[in-house]
Amino acid sequence: MHDDRQLIEGRLARTLQRVEDAVWSGAEPVDLGRWDAPGEPVPVAEGLAAEHAPCAVGDAWGPPWGTSWFRVRGTVPERFAGRVVDLRLDLGFDPDRTGFHAEGLVYRPDGSVVKGLHPRTQWVRVSDAARGGEEVDLHVEAASNPLLLGGGGFDFRPSPMGDPDTAPRDPLYRVARAELAVFETEVWELQQDLEVLGQLAAELSLEDGRRWELLRALDRAMDRLDVADLAGTAAAARAELEPAFAAPARASAHRVSAVGHAHIDSAWLWPTRETVRKVARTCANVTSLMDDHPELVFAMSSAQQFAWVREHRPEVWERVVERVREGRFVPVGGMWVESDTNMPGGEALVRQLTHGKRFFLDAFGIETREVWLPDSFGYTAALPQLVALSGSRWFLTQKISWNTTNRFPHHTFRWEGLDGTRVLTHFPSADTYGSDVSGAEVAHAARNFADKGAANRSMLPFGWGDGGGGPTREMLARAARLRDLDGSPRVEVERPDAFFAAAEAEYPEAPVWVGELYLEMHRGTYTSQARTKQGNRRSEHLLREAELWAATAAVREAVEYPYERLDRLWKTVLLNQFHDILPGSSIGWVHRQAAEEYAAVAGELEEVIGEAQRALAGEGEVDVVANAAPHPRAGVAAGGIGVPTAPLSAVSVEADGDGWVLDNGLVRARIDAAGLLTSVVDAASGREALAPGSRGNLLQLHADTPVRFDAWDVDAYYRRSVTDLVDLGESGSVEPVDGGVRIVRSFGRSRIEQVLTLPPGEARVDIATEVDWQEREKLLKAAFDLDVSTDRVACEVQFGHVHRPTHANTSWDAARFEVCAHRWVHVGEPGFGAAVANDSTYGHDVTRADREGGGTSSVVRLSLLRAPQSPDPVADLGTHRMTYALVPGAGVVDAVREGLRLNLPLRTLRGSGAATEPLVALDRDGVVVEAVKLADDGSGDVVVRLYEALGARTGARLALGFEHSGAVVTDLLERPLEGVAPPVVEHGALVLALRPFEVLTLRVARA
């Protein structure tokens, strides 16, 4: 029996090769012409009207990032009459690199779109029943995108292809086929039959009689085939397989909800301009496929991608709108892009959801109910609350299946976030978001499903992504055959919301997972491409300032609120939070463009801020400051403008032996001759923050050579190689400057200049850092060994913080050797704590160190810079400026306050000297105002978003600095929440009660 099985399987593989070769017959050449667009892609009308030079099969075309327009002309021969006829175009495709190189979009001469061309869809239907003599006249806009490093970009070898300035200009592709041919329908159907039954048989155990039943049926079918006449004998072979297909699935069979899908990275190994075209090609392909396959349901996320189609390819947009109305082309996700969720700030995540959901509501009248993030690199614990507050109820991802240390224990579960909110969450158990509906993947979905016994269904997103064209007719054929087939899970093509509703009903008491969904991979993305991360952080805080001051000035009737401008700028920032842009895992072209866009955003926001602040400050020559932070400082209210009362230069700098001492009355810090901190004393407690014998702000250099995912990963073994940068180098120095001490340090090919200061009136040591970074495959960290003994560290995330272990007791703890935090991390023990804050850094590690004589200290390290080689070989090289700070004696509330102050510095301007009172004021430091703005609908209502930051049940009073006629609690889209009473008003203030880490959005009507 064993020999029979191997013989049949070998025979099947050879037969499938013959059958595949016979799917088309009777090739008839067509005429080709080609025009190469100069530079960037041109408008469609220009490409259609261009003069085409003669072109032939075998010709080379397409330098990296080029666009060529092919004109295809031919005549259907009379011998094809009555037959199904396709145009076959192979632009030099490699079917194993689907989505990563050349693609095409087919047009008619009038500019209407036909479909996309991709490695797995190299055909265009000409006629379902040809008459003979039909003229074929089509155009193809072909993109010669380079195949970067094997199509994955995961190799460490540098490549010049990721930037048009460094890419060679030699053609990348050769036209391999251009012909009309008869599509042999019965042969194609036989191919699907053989593949499905062969794949299913391979997944069944040798002890399962069904396997042998299928093998025997396949053997009989192949006996009926004449290799010299496959088209003529295909029907007879198929007849032998009918009994095998007639056997229904077992009652206990796993249920698979198959959803058409094409995950398209909004930028990655290509720039966003190419994503615009990838999305259009895929949408054209999908809507064309729907014409012949009414059963196809296709889910597409990212409002940005829909918006691109509407703006740049209106002819494709019309087809998408039609299919959306039919319920077959399904918007999902409710976000502007499939963003990273580790690094975007809280308000940015809110805007991802509000901009995404509003687009789908405005364009289609559809309220999306699921957040769809299959590929992002881990998921913040803040997300469940935001999902619910956006009006959604479900969450989908796939990425946690990539964990390298611990297998996540569920596929369907309730995810509980920071504040206790729970959302039903699903991981497709096939471990892919781009299935080809193969027998192996469908069987794996059933075997791998972790919640057997309690639940019995999973989702299977299927289709070629990243410009691969999405679902294919072959995938749909497999799904149809597996719908109810013995030995297989039941496969049903259906909408995502149908799956979630059924999963929710089937598994009402699904298990609960509390806290973040940490991805045990891609930890380097917290640090790679530091300029992109800095641009994001700065943009987020500038947007906060612009909305605050513009709203204040508009309420005071000093300026008009710039609704459209802010909306546009937000969308630019949201796009760059895509999960391969902000994490730093795209080609250099993408990050150069992001830097340009961040600079433009900053310029416009400075204009908005300046105009509003000048209008509020009034005419005069008095020095005033504007405080955008949500806590008072320098005698100026949070969100107010006034004359500062705190001294502007109350810091002493004194020589102390071979070092220097800084003192501002709140902190006393000593810097030694090597430029390292040897003492940081909190004046309030009199306690030393640094561990005995340690030195703070110790820069450390590690070799950084991850095994595979270069820009993505920091592998644990990096810690075995470390160089402490304690020498100043040849040109190094330590010297006093106004209000601080400057340290210059050189190492390798790099140079670092740091200025340590104590901000007047603020209890922290600021370390302003400029790095000329010229290292390769290195990781630069800054370390503070703090005299605090604790087994956990508090890390700021959106709208609160999470606690993570500083030990490695379990494999789950050990896997968190690099973590993401926002503006601060905090370590504390009863009576004392310390925080390390930053203005643009996200990667951290916090560990325990043994102390001589017993006990432990807490070593907090920031990851400042990396130097990966792929996919951008010059990532992070050049000059960087950043600031981080040590806050001694800090509780969590102090960490929150100082982190915000560091990121929202006071602004000085001239004015009348009259105080500008804030629009809103809170009486609790632990409750933080996140945003003050005018309502998005243009009503003029004031919207205030705030959150409880300490993890405690808290009462607070929100004073309003304007006349109002009432306030309501709303969702994130500023719609009143049903069943939630408006806040009580006492003496003009809103009385609030918040649960731990609750996010509260208030809409206040102006009187």
- Report the catalytic residues: 375
**Other residues' Cβ atoms within 10 Å of the Cβ of residue 730:** 6
Report d(CA 923, CA 955) in Å as an integer.
9
How does 377-396 read in b/e, with b if 16+ C-beta sit within 10 Å? bbbbbbbbbbbbbbbbbbbb
Measuring CA to CA, how many Å separate 733 from each of 476, 739, 879? 69, 17, 19
Confirm if 722 and 768 have CB atoms less than 8 A apart.
no
Contacts of residue 45, defined as CB under 8 A and 6 or more positions apart, other chains included, come to: 111
Give me the sheet containing 85-90, strands edge to edge. Answer: 24-29, 177-183, 85-90, 123-127
What six digits make up the tokens of 475?
């995938």
Report d(CA 747, CA 776) in Å as an integer.
13
Three-state secondary-structure class, residue 382: coil
DSSP collapsed to 3 states, 794-830: EEEECCEEEEEECCCCCHHHHHCCCEECCCEEEEEEC
Among candidates 305, 936, 1004, 944, which has minimal Cα distance to 567? 936
Contacts of residue 647, defined as CB under 8 A and 6 or more positions apart, other chains included, come to: 760, 761
How does 697-717 read in b/e, with b if 16+ C-beta sit within 10 Å? bbbbbbebbbeebbbbbbbee
What are φ and ψ of residue 271, in 5° steps? -80, 170
What six digits make up the tokens of 107?
């047009």
Among candidates 477, 613, 450, which has minimal Cα distance to 542? 613
Contacts of residue 795, defined as CB under 8 A and 6 or more positions apart, other chains included, come to: 801, 802, 803, 804, 819, 820, 821, 822, 825, 826, 844
Q: H helices within 160-248, ranges in order?
A: 185-203, 209-223, 230-246
Alpha carbon distance, N-terminus to C-terminus of the chain? 86
Measuring CA to CA, how many Å separate 689 from each of 459, 685, 755, 823? 52, 10, 20, 19
Measuring CA to CA, how many Å separate 888 from each of 553, 764, 793, 883? 37, 7, 15, 16
Among candidates 357, 265, 376, 362, which has minimal Cα distance to 303? 357
Report d(CA 91, CA 137) in Å as an integer.
17
Residues shown for the chain: 1007
Confirm if 285 and 261 have CB atoms less than 8 A apart.
no
Among candidates 86, 507, 117, 81, which has minimal Cα distance to 280? 117
Three-state secondary-structure class, residue 566: helix
